[in-house]
A = this chain, B = another copy of it.
Amino acid sequence: MKVYGLADKKRTRIQTENRQTIRDAALEIFARDGFRGATVDAIASKAGMSKPNLLYYFPTKDEIYRELLQNLLESWLAPLQEVDADGEPTEQIAAYIARKMALARDFPMESRLFANEMIRGAPILLDVLSRDLKGLVDEKAALIQAWMDDGKLAPIDPHHLIFAIWATTQHYADFDVQVSAVLGSDSDDRFSGAATALTKIFLDGLRPR
Contact = CB atoms under 8 A, between A and B. Distances in A.
Contacts of A177: 118, 121-122, 126, 129
Given A206-B153, A209-B209, A122 B201 contact: no
A198 B37 contact: no
A66 to B, nearest CB: 17
Given A168-B167, A174-B115, A196-B157, A204 B201 contact: no
Interface string A186-209: 000000011011101111111111
As for how many copies of this chain the complex holds, the number is: 2
A209 B154 contact: yes
A32 interface: yes
Interface in A153-171: 153-154, 156-157, 159-161, 163-164, 166-168, 170-171
Contacts of A160: 193-194, 197-198, 201
Q: Say whether chain A's binding surface is mostly helix, strand, loop, or mixed.
A: helix
B36 A154 contact: no
B205 A129 contact: no
Interface stretch (A4-12, A14-22, A56-64, A130-138): A130-138
Interface residues of A, number: 66
A168 B159 contact: no
Contacts of A209: 154, 209
Given A33-B34, A36-B34, A129-B181, A164 B205 contact: no
The 9 closest A-B pairs by CB, nearest first: A36-B37, A205-B205, A160-B197, A167-B171, A37-B37, A129-B181, A130-B181, A204-B205, A34-B34
Given A37-B33, A182-B129, A175 B206 contact: no
